[in-house]
Amino acid sequence: IHRSRCGFYPAPQYLRCQSLSGAGAPRWNDCDTPEEFNFASDVLDYWTQMEKEGKRGPNPALWWVNNQGDEVKWSFREMTDLTRRAANVFTQTCGLQEGDHLALILPRVPEWWLVIVACIRTGIVFMPGTTQMKAKDILYRLQVSKAKGIVTTDTLAPEVDSVASECPALKTKLLVSDHSRKGWLDFRSLMRSESPVHTCIKSKTLDPMAIFFTSGTTGFPKMAKHSHGLALRSFFPSCRKLLQLKTSDVLWCLSDTGWILAVGGSLLEPWTAGSTVFVHHLPQFDPKVIVQTLFKYPITQCFAAPSVFRMILQQNSTSLRFPTLEHCCTGGEALLPEEQELWRRQTGVLLYQAYGQSETGTTCGTLRGMKIKPGSLGKAIPPYDIQIIDDKGNILPPNTEGNIGIRIKPTRPIGVFVCYESNPVKTAEVECGDFYNSGDRATVDAEGYFWFLGRADDVINASGYRIGPAEVENALAEHPAVAESAVVSSPDPIRGEVVKAFIVLTPNFLSHDRDQLTKELQQHVKSVTAPYKYPRKVEFVSELPKTITGKIKRSELRKKEFGQM
């Protein structure tokens, strides 16, 4: 690899700032919908211009490190150059066009940021996915989305190759690696030879930008499609109050690259404010490395799922007084009031909570500096009108349990997903009167603070991962020991909730050692689908509770787990 100041690629020699529409300072108000918006030209290139004019400090735009001592620091200027090169790789070399779908399955490597911005420059719709996926998960995503391209690493390339023949739409496979692979284009070497001159598309704010796969109770994950408005929302003055980022801030968002939280917290939000995005490669999650990193680097803000903060606290580190950390925010799963308090006592830093989904991004939260009510999600962030609704979309009074609803009629707010791609039935199912029904149960108090209670359906939220029970049951069904199974959520002191499988064995396996079988079944699930879904708890039963029509009563099993029966 040719290592230059900007890491893997040549430093920008031909940088040309094309027409800038000028952004940076909040330019749009909470309810504005400009006809055109493009994050690459309106935001990233703006900060490049600010750097050129000496109006932004020396902090890098992206600061990436790993455990081997490697480091990449890219300025906005370098980001502009590199993402234009990447845009040319996609359009010139690969022949991808505006509106094409591109699967993006990369770990936390700097190219993840390049690919996303390059997609935005070209109008290619990027679809992030976790690197934990297995061949079947990838096959489903490629087929259902009719993806024309995929970007991934050596680790997943064989999985992709094993299913590529079943994906007729797939014409481009890009490998991010130091090695080449037959049938794959070498992203890094193409980047070195590609021109850094590229004209960004003029995207309409409501044109598609990204698709996030999201699990439901039944069937396979749905494709929540977002427009460029998802990026525009980061500009809204109210949304910027959540973190109140400044150009001098260094933000570390630990979300896996497969989730909307990573796109918002590790790219859109910090770069809108001209802040530094900090990234640790972290191939394996290790709370010790996180603590060391927070001591070693001048990180001022940290955003992660509650399980991450919980795991750090449970390590019994002697000191958690991080020298530069000023603000912490969490979201993706429930956070207990005592955890919030413990974090404050141990670190001296408050832990603020935010709420959102793949369909909505962050729509609710305790804004920085706002009174924290421990355990609460915070308040609706304008322009989102969030209400507790019943199953018909009627607004319920304070302190009454119902569904979290976001008003989408008469006007669908910017930043809320456009639809489930190719699935009008599911899109209609989540519309409830004038609201989008999140499927999350909660109450709101008289001051407008929301209090999360749980899911209305059977979806499991394990350490911030949304898991559909059917996905795990289908994986279990492939094992000869499993006659049938029911998968539900079960409480856990570290992960909040974990996946639990109730399993009825086939006759041949009834005499097998249960501990051994548990391990085998867990390993089996990890091998056929993304391992974060594997059942951490397994119980063998002689039969499953069912309705008269033979439908498994998951809710009964779940209630037992939570001691509600």
Q: How far is the CB of 549 from ligand BCO (least distance, A)?
A: 33
Window of 6-14, 24-32, 44-52, 463-471 that interacts with ligand BCO by CB under 6 A: 463-471
Phi then psi for 37, rounded to 5 degrees?
Answer: -155, 135
159 binds ligand BCO (CB under 6 A): no
Shortest separation between residue 517's beta carbon and ligand BCO, angstroms: 17
Is residue 49 a contact residue for ligand BCO (CB under 6 A)? Answer: no
Alpha helices in 71-197 (DSSP H): 76-88, 110-122, 135-145, 157-163, 187-193
532 binds ligand BCO (CB under 6 A): yes
Q: Is 301 helix (H, G, I), strand (E, B) or coil?
A: strand
* 357-396 positions binding ligand BCO, by CB under 6 A: 357, 361-362
**In the set 74, 90, 213, 259, which binds ligand BCO (CB under 6 A)?**
259
Label the pairing between strands 172-175 and 149-152.
parallel
- Residue 131: other Cβ atoms inside 10 A: 17
- Report if residue 464 touches ligand BCO, rule: CB under 6 A: yes
- C-alpha–C-alpha distance, residues 397 and 395, integer Å: 7
Segment interacting with ligand BCO (CB under 6 A) among 318-326, 425-433, 462-470, 538-546: 462-470
Q: According to the binding rule CB under 6 A, does residue 172 interact with ligand BCO? A: no
Distance of closest approach, residue 331 Cβ to ligand BCO, in angstroms: 5
Task: Enter the tokens of residue 215.
Answer: 């699990």
- Helices 45-52, 76-88: inter-axial angle, 10-degree rounding: 140
Give 433 or 531: the residue with its C-beta nearer to ligand BCO.
531
- Give the interface size with ligand BCO as a residue count (CB under 6 A): 22
Window contacting ligand BCO (CB under 6 A); options: 139-147, 304-312, 406-414, 416-424? 304-312
* Residue 332 binds ligand BCO, judged by CB under 6 A: yes
Among candidate residues 195, 187, 176, the one with its CA nearest the CA of residue 85:
195
103 versus 308: smaller Cβ distance to ligand BCO: 308
Tell me which amino acid residue 106 is: L
Measured CA to CA, the distance from residue 537 to residue 547 in angstroms comes to 24
> Of 298, 374, 433, 531, which one interacts with ligand BCO (CB under 6 A)?
531
Binding-site member from 526, 541, 556, 560 for ligand BCO (CB under 6 A): 526
The least distance separating ligand BCO from the CB of residue 79, rounded to whole angstroms, comes to: 23
Does 308 contact ligand BCO by CB under 6 A?
yes
Among 197-205, 223-231, 458-466, 512-520, which window interacts with ligand BCO (CB under 6 A)?
A: 458-466
Instruction: Please list, in sequence order, all residues whose beta carbon lies within 8 angstroms of the beta carbon of residue 551, skipping any fewer than 6 positions away.
Output: none
Determine contact, residues 196/14, Cβ cutoff 8 Å: yes
Nearer to ligand BCO, 47 or 213 (CB): 213
Instruction: Report the distance separating Cα 500 and Cα 562, nearest Å.
Output: 12
Contact status: 307 vs ligand BCO (CB under 6 A): yes
- Establish if 112 lies at the interface with ligand BCO (CB under 6 A): no
- Is 475 one of the binding residues for ligand BCO (CB under 6 A)? no
Which CB atom, from 261 or from 430, has the smaller least distance to ligand BCO?
261
User: Nearest-CA neighbor of 462 among 253, 256, 252?
Assistant: 256
In the complex, least distance from residue 155 CB atom to ligand BCO, rounded to whole angstroms: 7
Q: What are phi and psi of 116, to 5 degrees?
A: -65, -50
Q: Which residues contact 206 (CB under 8 A, 6 or more apart)?
A: 33, 227, 228, 229, 418
C-beta of 79 vs 406, nearer to ligand BCO: 406
Contact yes or no for 359/438 (Cβ under 8 A)? yes
Q: Give the chain's largest Cα–Cα span.
A: 75
Distance of alpha carbon 379 from alpha carbon 387, whole angstroms: 10
Burial category of 98 from C-beta neighbours within 10 Å (exposed 0-12, middle 13-18, buried 19 and up):
middle
- Binding residues (CB under 6 A) for ligand BCO: these are 132, 255-256, 259-261, 285, 305, 307-308, 331-332, 356-357, 361-362, 463-465, 526, 531-532
